[in-house]
Structure 1
Amino acid sequence: MTYRSLLLGTAAALVAGPALADMNFNRIASFPVVENQPGAEESSSEIIAATADGMTLVYTDSPAEVLGFIDITDPHAPRAAGVLELDGEPTSVAVAGQAAFVGVNTSEDYINTSGHLLAVDVTSRAVLGDCDLGGQPDSVAVAPDASFIAVAIENERDEDLGDGRVGQMPAGFVAIVPLADGAMQCDAIIRADVTGLAEIAPEDPEPEYVSINDEGEIVVTLQENNHMVVLSAAGEVLSHFSAGAVDLEGIDVDEERAFVYNGSQPGRLREPDAVTWIDADHFAIANEGDMDGGSRGWTIFHQDGSVIYESGTDFERAIIEIGHYPERRSGNKGVEPESVTFDVFDGTPYVFVGAERASVVGVYDVTDPANPVLEQLLPSGIGPEGYVTIPGRGLLVSANEVDGLEDGAARSHVMIYEYQDAPAVYPHLTSVGMDELTGWGAISGMVADPDSGLIYAVNDSFYAMQPTIFVIEPSMDGPSRIIDAIRVTRAGQPAQLLDMEGITLDGEGGFWIASEGRTDRLVPHALYHVGADGEIEDYVPLPDDLLAVERRFGFEGITMVGDTLWMAVQRSWDDDPENTVKLVAYNTETEEWGAVRYQTTDPDMGWVGLSEIVAHGDHVYLIERDNQIGSAAVTKLITRVALENMVPAPLGGDLPVVEHEVVVDLIPYLTSTGGYVLDKVEGLAIMPDGTIWVSTDNDGVDDHSGETMFFAIPPM
């Protein structure tokens, strides 16, 4: 059995994982970079590098205008190692030995561009050198033999200028800075001219990213120009060619709050961002797009310009199957692969592809560069931007740039993965194996079928145009699999004005669904009776006694006990005493309503409420949680109330407060895979033997990493 069991205090955290291969990458730690600057309004980890001994990480933080440091002597427990304040915006960093070379942008505007390359001793933080670059730097790379540094001088254009295709001087170039005994030779900088090469805006190249191979050759992406250039260490153009285009078929091209894979984009320009050498002849690019393109995948080129491998839609489709597809980016560039890096682990060459909008790292075996094999998809933080590999210690590190403090999302994190002789822990849930490509996300309620052993789960209003009941085959050997998708319909059409937050079986082959209303959006608070085929057969609106006191927070779970439906209300309504919420009852035979109250934990921050209710044995089990993320999370619990105490009182009168007990603290489970604590624990299903299945809501990958946890807790 491939449980990954971690003993955390007195709790054993058991999370199912798929046995993909003998060796796998698994996340072992996450470091919130705000720990380097407590109280910072905004912090970000963008480009990241490591010292030669692999014990210290160095990252750029452009919002704070600092260079950050992380001690990973123990990679399972990274520690804050402080920051170095800079005089501008750091754009990239590369390390040789114990020296970090940082590109710093000091430009006044798009026309008056400036910047410099700073050399810093990582141990002492002393400045070892400072070279004026004569323009706005972007990517920085150090030659493998530490003989020189290449810097992409982007001199980016103002994209609001004209139609965005108007050239804007000064033109970009590549700066080559010689090194002698590790010291920068500022007076010998070579300015490699790359104008006049691209078909698109040849007068205004914008070098984006550089990588250097063992022969000292520099490959450069001109993202906005959709062009590639290979330079010698002396700055001579060895080859150059268009990055080309890809015909995309079977993709989602509209942001319609549904997964619809019938769109196409012929001739989609690649417009690559990051680039990495694989060997002396081949390099990989991430086709993020910018001005006119973005082909949603990645490509391997020979340096003579011939395409060796093109992922097409395969990378994005694999991401769709694990629930990380950002539907709200469908009209733009989908998952937006932005980063690629390469290294060899235990003799196997890997390319790591980062999807910025899906917050996923694809792990490809490139033993044969013409036929890469996707081995894993790893969960990352929001907006993975930079990577560093430390094969000597078996480590992969991602820097995730998005700081979600303002949006109530996770803050910027650096995540650490270890190459292990162990099963792959992620994904927990996948739709791989279905006859048709099936996207999913925002799982908000669940129920177990005691006869089939299957679990039914609903998505919430994020997918308002495609309300769905997912049929899940849970697996202790992981990942659990979605095997069917029942669309919820009204008169045969996708049912609108639903916010499905709970589901339970009706005992006759169908379902009862609780919909959380939003009266300001004309979404009613209601119960829906749904047939096995997904068609709505009947609905029950809330009575006036409840509507008179409700706020916008409605039912967040539903379960059935005999003829009575019990619904958990997420937060207090106007008539509830502080830190209490209602458990509402509806008798399907007598059509009578009633309720009791539940006392929630007093929140340290934000609010605490209920997210699910499930009847099992002599109790109802509930999810009680706060709305906090990461280290701020305190309350993520499974509790229970004895059914003998669940005696509903008439609405409008005094409601009794039921006693409850804590069954499981979920925080050890939520941190058992090396990530930060996810906010929305919303799904709960209990099997006849008492095995508890728990899921998290990934908010449709909007201001969210997309990570979904779906795990089992053995019978208590």
Structure 2
Amino acid sequence: MSLRRTSSALVSVLALAAVGAVPTAAAAHGRADGFTRLSTFPAYLNSSIGDTAAAEISTVTEDGRTVVYTDSPGERLGFVDITNPSKPQPAGTLAMGGEPTSVAHLGGLLLAAVADGRLVVVSASRKIVRTIDLGGQPDSVAVAPSGRYIAVAIENERDEDVNGGALPQGPAGYLAVIDAKTWKLTKVALTGLSTVAPTDPEPEYVSINSRDEAVVSLQENNHLVVVSLATGKIKKHFTAGAVTVSGVDTVDDDRIALTGSITAKREPDGVTWITDELFATANEGDYEGGSRGWTIFNAKTGAVVWDAGNALEHIAVSYGQYPDKRSDAKGIEPENVAFGRFHGVPYVFVNSERGNFTAVYDVSNPRKPKFTQLLPTTNGPEGVVAVPSRGLVVVSSEEEDASIGIRGTVQVFGLGANPTNQLISRNGIPWGALSALSAVPGRKDRLVSVTDAVYTPTRILGLTTGGTIDSQLTVTKDGTPIGYDAEGIVARKQGGYWLAVEGSASTPNLLVRLDAKGRVQEEITLPADVAATITTNGLEGVAESGTSVWVAVQRTLKGDPANTARIGRYDTVTKTWSWLLYPLDAAPTGWSGLSEIVAVDGNMFAVIERDNQRGPLAAIKKIYTFDVPRTWSGTPTVTKKPAKDLLPILKSGNGWVQDKVEGLAIAGDGRTYAVTDNDGLDDATGETVFMNLGKLL
């Protein structure tokens, strides 16, 4: 569980902020309530915004009021006061003198494993009262429900730069067992058990049941071991096994195709007991495996009670959270699992490290777990803790890259309120990177969106105003599927579509006309003088009014006044362009620009104006309207009027505020809808927000 990731392979999910009544995911599965996100706490709030601060593994103190997380980059523990879980407060840090890898609590004590081989015991007053030499590099630490024993997985992690990371590499890992009464440490050897590198066991995670039995995952060895902590004896050990999973994406090719098959060792990371005889594993994979799912095992027999197969990846695809760039590796990478019983219902919570979500399962029948919800998280969810006494689930996410607005966080979810509504696709239609939105003429409950350059070929997605993606249409040119960087779409009254295509250093900005079957009928370039000043940050929206097609240019063109963007009108009769200037708000940080344009009537247009910031730095996410003159010469500046500030809505989901609000439509029901682009989970949290703004325009 060390920090071995980069920010370039991140992931996606989609939250629907709705004014109207939309069925929730939990309700769709027969439950009247579920978990909803209450808050998101950036770890840097315990230091400063310019500090590098992560939140990897976390625990919640016995009274349920303080989250304690490991901050490896800062070599410290972080504290968050969740007395009010909707308004968490920074509660300081405690230096560890090394990188903490895990933390747990024993009554009023905290137990922090530190990578240099120590278990640091911290009092309720945050004083280090004891340090125990573990004799090796620890990973996970767990406390027995009885309070009698502490177990620490001593991984002695292999060096991936030595011999290509191949096993074996000494020294061998083991399980450290500490008697909480005497603080005496006993080492339980784990060598000679696995068929994979038996001389080099690398225990990754440990969990303890009410019988004082520990289950330990030997991730790289693809093995599971059950240990009696009272005797220090191994009660059972068995391989985690391999599984053939069909119907998954196995190729990194900018498209999601659930047609591949893998045969892989499970190589479990996180483990958790469900009962005293059953436990669950998150099958992340590491050395040479990863089955992309999670499994329930019988601890007595070693038998597989249930396995997720391809289901978890299919769920990720349906919720827009699938990381295509990881298709040729380990897919969504289930990282960790936790168990909790809420209002009598037993749940397992499964973190997807690359998909940036926590999946919730009802395990009332462990042989047939029922998926109930997908909880969108920030990047790299590592730790997950169930707190049934307060009806809470806490997820800590380690990814930290301030340069792109990605920060390590602690997120709190609560049971009992209305769960987050979510956009979901039917029949496994893959989606993400919804870069535009349009009404469908003549239909009150229909919208269309389009995928941008994250995926190829370009697809037009049909969805209901209630948030269900239920159709897809591939764009073709001369009979061949084509990939554009489509940033705008409008469905035409006479059938077909217009696309606004953003250019690059090697491709031009285009206005593209499609027929009703998505076939390219016409590609229209910009005037040479305008095209010469645009490469990236070009066309971002398109609208149609009468015989004119209107486009929005995202950023200020070279030579134009500062803090302006261009609005272009293409006359389809005369085949000529004319231009207006649009005044942009000055962004406190970064830049501001346009990302959508919609025709309200023949004279009025609405645009989305946004900055390029996310999280707490986000400042401009607004809808403005403006009227256009009937005739003009030159490039006059329009007068804009505020219509809606979207920032409060984006904040109301209590998540990480998304930067790319890129779709806007006035549907046939008279309501206005907006959507964010999740960048296909690349260098973004992956969460998409789809907003029903009511009768706004």
Shift of 1:98: 2.2
SS of aligned partner of 1:657: coil
Would you say 1:167 and 2:159 are equivalent positions?
Answer: no
Q: Confirm or deny: 8 A CA contact 1:558 1:612 kept in the other structure.
A: yes
Aligned ranges for residues 480-499 of structure 1 at < 5 Å?
480-496=467-483, 498-499=484-485
SS of aligned partner of 1:388: strand
Would you say 1:615 and 2:607 are equivalent positions?
Answer: no
Unpaired segments of 5 or more residues in structure 2?
A: 1-14
Shift of 1:358: 0.4
**What are the Cα deviations for residues 295-319 of structure 1, in whole angstroms up to 9, with x where unaligned?**
0000000002000000100111011
Question: 1:411/1:681 Cα in 2 relative to 1: closer, same or farther (>3 Å)?
Answer: same
Q: Confirm or deny: 8 A CA contact 1:458 1:470 kept in the other structure.
A: yes
Would you say 1:605 and 2:589 are equivalent positions?
Answer: yes
Would you say 1:119 and 2:121 are equivalent positions?
Answer: yes
Shift of 1:550: 2.1
Cα distance in 1 between the residues matched to 2:441 and 2:500: 20
Structure 1 residue aligned with 2:235, among 224, 238, 254? 238
Cα distance in 1 between the residues matched to 2:308 and 2:240: 14
Cα distance in 1 between the residues matched to 2:435 and 2:472: 15
Q: Confirm or deny: 8 A CA contact 1:379 1:426 kept in the other structure.
A: no
SS of aligned partner of 2:687: coil
Shift of 1:452: 1.6
Q: Confirm or deny: 8 A CA contact 1:15 1:712 kept in the other structure.
A: no
SS of aligned partner of 1:671: helix
Aligned match of 1:342 = 339
Cα distance in 1 between the residues matched to 2:19 and 2:642: 17
TM-score normalised by L of structure 1: 0.92
Cα distance in 1 between the residues matched to 2:84 and 2:559: 51
Q: Confirm or deny: 8 A CA contact 1:444 1:458 kept in the other structure.
A: yes
SS of aligned partner of 2:490: strand
Structure 2 residue aligned with 1:442, among 430, 433, 437? 433
Q: Confirm or deny: 8 A CA contact 1:551 1:573 kept in the other structure.
A: no
Shift of 1:97: 2.2
Aligned ranges for residues 54-73 of structure 1 at < 5 Å?
54-73=64-83
The amino acid that maps onto 2:120 is: L
Aligned ranges for residues 8-157 of structure 1 at < 5 Å?
16=22, 18=24, 19-20=27-28, 21-106=31-116, 115-122=117-124, 124-157=125-158
Q: Confirm or deny: 8 A CA contact 2:433 2:678 kept in the other structure.
A: yes
Aligned match of 1:457 = 449
Q: Confirm or deny: 8 A CA contact 2:16 2:690 kept in the other structure.
A: no
Q: Confirm or deny: 8 A CA contact 2:553 2:594 kept in the other structure.
A: yes
Would you say 1:637 and 2:628 are equivalent positions?
Answer: no
Would you say 1:680 and 2:690 are equivalent positions?
Answer: no
Cα distance in 2 between the residues matched to 1:153 and 1:341: 20
- More divergent stretch after superposition (32-41 vs 199-208): 32-41
**What are the Cα deviations for residues 519-545 of structure 1, in whole angstroms up to 9, with x where unaligned?**
x2x222111111111111111011212
The amino acid that maps onto 2:421 is: Y
Shift of 1:468: 0.4
Cα distance in 2 between the residues matched to 1:346 and 1:673: 24
The amino acid that maps onto 1:205 is: P
For CA contacts below 8 A with separation 6 or more, give which structure has more relative contact order.
2
**What are the Cα deviations for residues 240-271 of structure 1, in whole angstroms up to 9, with x where unaligned?**
000001101111111100111211112x1000
Q: Confirm or deny: 8 A CA contact 1:681 1:694 kept in the other structure.
A: yes
Aligned match of 2:425 = 431
Aligned ranges for residues 283-294 of structure 1 at < 5 Å?
283-294=279-290
Question: 1:515/1:646 Cα in 2 relative to 1: closer, same or farther (>3 Å)?
Answer: farther
Question: 1:405/1:648 Cα in 2 relative to 1: closer, same or farther (>3 Å)?
Answer: farther
Aligned match of 2:8 = none
Aligned match of 1:507 = 493
Aligned match of 1:111 = none
Aligned match of 1:277 = 273
Cα distance in 2 between the residues matched to 1:710 and 1:120: 44
Question: 1:647/1:462 Cα in 2 relative to 1: closer, same or farther (>3 Å)?
Answer: farther
SS of aligned partner of 1:318: helix
Cα distance in 1 between the residues matched to 2:630 and 2:623: 17
Question: 1:505/1:421 Cα in 2 relative to 1: closer, same or farther (>3 Å)?
Answer: closer
Shift of 1:676: 2.1
Cα distance in 2 between the residues matched to 1:74 and 1:13: 26
Cα distance in 1 between the residues matched to 2:168 and 2:51: 35
Aligned match of 1:255 = 252
Cα distance in 1 between the residues matched to 2:36 and 2:113: 31
Shift of 1:552: 2.2
Cα distance in 2 between the residues matched to 1:330 and 1:166: 25
Q: Confirm or deny: 8 A CA contact 2:405 2:615 kept in the other structure.
A: no
Shift of 1:426: 3.2
After superposition, the CA RMSD in angstroms is: 1.6
Structure 2 residue aligned with 1:196, among 189, 192, 196? 192
SS of aligned partner of 1:319: helix
Shift of 1:411: 1.0
Q: Confirm or deny: 8 A CA contact 1:5 1:13 kept in the other structure.
A: no
SS of aligned partner of 2:83: coil
Cα distance in 1 between the residues matched to 2:70 and 2:16: 35
Would you say 1:405 and 2:386 are equivalent positions?
Answer: no
SS of aligned partner of 1:461: coil
Cα distance in 1 between the residues matched to 2:639 and 2:451: 31
Would you say 1:219 and 2:215 are equivalent positions?
Answer: yes
Q: Confirm or deny: 8 A CA contact 2:207 2:216 kept in the other structure.
A: yes
Cα distance in 2 between the residues matched to 1:402 and 1:559: 38
The amino acid that maps onto 1:393 is: R
SS of aligned partner of 1:565: strand
Cα distance in 2 between the residues matched to 1:598 and 1:204: 65
Cα distance in 1 between the residues matched to 2:429 and 2:501: 23
Cα distance in 2 between the residues matched to 1:258 and 1:431: 16
- More divergent stretch after superposition (157-166 vs 327-336): 157-166
Unpaired segments of 5 or more residues in structure 1?
A: 7-11, 107-114
Cα distance in 1 between the residues matched to 2:220 and 2:399: 23
Q: Confirm or deny: 8 A CA contact 1:385 1:401 kept in the other structure.
A: yes
Cα distance in 1 between the residues matched to 2:366 and 2:16: 36
The amino acid that maps onto 1:125 is: R
SS of aligned partner of 1:708: strand
Shift of 1:73: 0.7
SS of aligned partner of 1:669: helix
Structure 2 residue aligned with 1:394, among 391, 395, 399? 391
Cα distance in 2 between the residues matched to 1:554 and 1:39: 32
The amino acid that maps onto 2:134 is: L
Cα distance in 1 between the residues matched to 2:93 and 2:349: 27
Would you say 1:656 and 2:647 are equivalent positions?
Answer: no
Would you say 1:317 and 2:314 are equivalent positions?
Answer: yes
